[in-house]
Amino acid sequence: MKNKTIIAVGLIVLAIAGAVIYKFNFTNGDIFFNNGKQINTHDGTYTVNGQKITLKNGTSETPTVTSPASKIITKYFGNEVKHDLNGDGILDSVFIITQETGGSGIFYYVVARINATSGPIGSDAVLLGDRIAPQTTEIDESNEKVNVIVVNYAVRKAGEPMTTSPSVGKSIWLKLDTKTMQFGEVAQNFEGEADPARMTLDMKTWAWTKTLYSDDKLVTPKITGKFTITFKKDGTFSATTDCNGVGGEYAVNKNQITFTSMMSTLMYCEGSQENEFRKMIEQTQSYMFTSKGEMVLLLKYDSGSVIFK
């Protein structure tokens, strides 16, 4: 009888704990639970150009002021980073949305969503630009404790038409005021900052630091400094890995780049990342430079970014 009582009490405790967990908010993949209701983690109300926009299933369609027949279409784009922005122990998110207002432009914005226990809270949006090329969104490792977000993207050179692919790397450092839900730009010490317009492929030997795929998968070298690539003015390149050396030819057309005639030595190394690194190079479609002195190889089909320093 005593054992049955203990078991019964235990079951009641588990039931209560489960109800409490289910009642309050927590994240599970891309689903956010709020008082038992499932909500897409990108949904919420955000302020874009002074107008409240509510995303449902990642999309919003609202009539324009001038023409009710026309619609402003706002969508979740991606490049999401998750971080506890308000110190409540729950992961929040910062990501990019796009907005089409009826013309030919596609405007890109950065927004944040606080996953509060009372429900999601959306921020004011920060405009990045029209028809840019977003690259990565990440936490500034040197300012992680103060929640500084770095958004990396590419724009066109001054005077280039909108039909030209963006090729100039740009970064913006942002910090969210969780009381006003507005972003402020964090000023950088630009002394010694790189000028992407003056950077070239053959200026140095580049060391691979990380690869961020469009599905948010992050790959980093197991051994720092082992993976490098060097471009020569004669159109050839050489690369080092944690196993074999790789070499071949490359061709550049504006910011487009192709690698061909790739060959490598044939040593076998257990647990090597060589094949994965080589595949990144083979799948590269274009490149850009950032103001942080990085070279970024952009993979085909917008599938990811390979970052070198």
Tens-place pLDDT, residues 85-125: 999 999 999 999 999 987 788 999 999 999 988 889 999 99
Between CA 105 and CA 258 the distance in angstroms is 29
Chain centroid to CA 80: how far? 5
CA angle 212, 231, 193 (to 5 degrees): 60
Please give the residue that has the higher pLDDT: either 169 or 36: 169
The ranges assigned to domains in the chain are 38-185, 196-308
Burial class (CB within 10 angstroms; exposed 0-12, middle 13-18, buried 19+) of 69: exposed
- Beta strands of 6-100 (E only): which ranges? 26-28, 31-34, 37-40, 44-48, 51-55, 59-63, 71-83, 92-100
Q: What is the pLDDT of residue 194?
A: 67
Model's pTM, two decimal places? 0.57
CATH assignment, 196-308: 2.40.128.270
Residue recorded with tokens 């405790």:
13
Please give the residue that has the higher pLDDT: either 228 or 301: 228
Give the list of residues 6+ apart from residue 21 with CB closer than 8 angstroms, or none: none
Residue 305's φ and ψ, nearest 5 degrees, are: -130, 130
Q: Which of 277, 282, 263, 265 is nearest to 308 (CA)?
A: 277
